[in-house]
Amino acid sequence: MSCSDTDSFLYLHAELLPNIRQITLYVSLPQTSALNNVRPTVQLSESCKAVTVSLSEPFQDVSETIKLPARVNGASRRALNTNISPTIMHNPSHFKGTSHDYSFRMQIDAKDPALVPRDEIMDDYVPWTAADMSCSTRIRCRKCGATFLDPAISANIPEEEGTANPAKWAWKDLPSGNWAEMMDFWHCHKPDPHEDDPKSEATAALKLEEQSAQVKGYGAASRVEAIPATVLIDVATFLLAESDCVGLKKSDQEEAKSSTEASEQHTLECIHCNSIIGMEDSSANGWRLLKANVSLNTNSAPVTEEEWQSHPEEMIVAAQLLELIERESARRFVVHCGQKSGLLLWVFNPDLRYSNSSSGCSVNAQQAMKVFYQNIQDVDKLLNPELGKVSRLSVEELELPSSILQSLSSSLEKSNNMLPLSARRFSEWHVGLLSRFSREQTAPSVSTSV
């Protein structure tokens, strides 16, 4: 059977449940008269790392195989051969009409690495860090392929115009939000010198510390600022000096009419396809390019089309959520694009391992975040509850460009339709999966836009 056949007889989904040391396997069949007396046969591989589900006659040629998120023990074969009655589910998107859903629990092998205690956030959830870059890294439009940054081209421009030789280009990771908050805390709670003793040791030490802080960049007046020939990297963007960027234009927004008002923040568009690529950051005197809207080539060798790489928008958003979880210890977020409506997300499991027979036709285990979500019509009501009323939820805010929010919403709906019908809802929440980045098993997707 073709992996693109949406009416496939068999649909498999497996999730790792490390807290109870088990894997749940779902098997779904369409409820038709021809399949009324047909029960799937589940076979565990010799390695105990994969399962194959097949049907009896006259559908003996129908089978599906997936790799499990972890190795299970040999005793799981008995659980798979238990006579379990199906649950009838109505109107699933996998099939037309209704379906028979079977579920099985398998015990994880005691020696499998999946049971080793681990940090569910980890440090490798951010795609494209300074460690991934070289002095010749190029940036271009994800949609049309127009170049925005090419150190080799910049090398041919005289240095007095604000550019530098590619050998001098630097890529640096910006500190996390935790660092900025710690500095604010330090400056608010540092010891005060005695005014009547300006020559005291405490006063002298404090002045020396303040001088050192300004030099090292963590003083009270310090701020992140774009530097020519240097790319500063955070979770979702690249910060560059305007003079280093080509092929971009500011959106047609009116400037603030009064110099006392804050200037309008322009979005940055590709001059060829008008795609939104980033935004102007006046506080940093630079331009921020969105990782979700660009593709990169990090090789110093001649460029080929296959070497340009990009990451799914949902993976970039997942990294932003993980960074907020790590920094704010929050699990619920209001995500919006500055409009009245948006999404309410509850990150139920930041590190889910699962396998799915319809996940891009891949039989390998995947890494994702399990997210409960709701569409909300009034963002302000959750973010700013009425005076005297206590919000029922403690939430953090994440504002995204409208195109990325739309892509996030589509990814959640698509993953919800991918799940077994019995696993798509939790109370009033919809259940979705967001792919997350991992250097162990996640490779960037190849850009094929041009």
Q: Are residues 84 and 228 in the same domain?
A: no
Q: Are residues 305 and 357 in the same domain?
A: no
Q: What is the pLDDT of residue 19?
A: 86
CA 94 to each of CA 63, 89, 180, 407, 438: distance values in angstroms, whole numbers, following the listed order: 16, 11, 47, 22, 29
Q: Are residues 326 and 180 in the same domain?
A: no
The model carries a pTM of: 0.81
Residue 388 located in a structural domain: yes
Q: In this structure, are strands 445-446 and 342-356 parallel, antiparallel, or unpaired?
A: unpaired
Q: How many CB atoms lie within 10 A of CB 422?
A: 14
Cis peptide before 86 (omega within 30 of 0): no
Residue 77 located in a structural domain: yes
CA 348 remoteness from chain centre: 15
Residue where a domain stops, chosen among 83, 115, 147: 115
Q: Are residues 301 and 318 in the same domain?
A: no
Residue 269 located in a structural domain: yes
DSSP 8-class letter at 339? S
Q: How many domains does the chain have?
A: 3
Residue 122 located in a structural domain: no
Q: How many CB atoms lie within 10 A of CB 133?
A: 19
**Cα gap 10→41, rounded to integer Å:** 11
Contact 277/268 with Cβ under 8 angstroms?
yes
Q: Are residues 267 and 330 in the same domain?
A: no
Look up tokens 């950051």; give the residue.
281
Q: Are residues 290 and 251 in the same domain?
A: yes
pLDDT for 171-200, tens place per residue?
Answer: 999 887 666 566 555 556 555 555 555 555
Residue 198 located in a structural domain: no
Look up tokens 């250097």; give the residue.
439
Where helices occur in 265-335 by DSSP H, the ranges are 313-328
Residue where a domain stops, chosen among 286, 309, 332: 309
Residue where a domain stops, chosen among 309, 343, 366: 309
Q: Are residues 304 and 321 in the same domain?
A: no
Residue 2 located in a structural domain: no
Q: Are residues 135 and 266 in the same domain?
A: yes
Q: Are residues 356 and 381 in the same domain?
A: yes
Residue 403 located in a structural domain: yes
Q: Are residues 93 and 167 in the same domain?
A: no
CA 434 to each of CA 295, 346, 388: distance values in angstroms, whole numbers, following the listed order: 20, 12, 36
Q: Are residues 18 and 86 in the same domain?
A: yes
pLDDT along the chain (450 residues), means of 10: 48 90 88 72 92 84 90 88 61 54 89 79 82 90 93 56 59 76 59 54 57 50 81 95 93 47 70 94 93 89 71 95 90 94 95 84 82 94 76 84 95 91 90 88 48
Residue 235 structural domain? 130-191+209-309
Burial 330-355 (b: 16+ CB within 10 A, else e): ebebbbbbeeeebbbbbbebbbbbbb
Q: Are residues 73 and 172 in the same domain?
A: no
Q: What is the pLDDT of residue 449?
A: 42
Residue 425 located in a structural domain: yes
Kind and range of the H or E element at 202? helix 201-216
**Cα gap 222→219, rounded to integer Å:** 5
Q: What is the pLDDT of residue 198?
A: 53
CATH of the domain at 58: 2.60.40
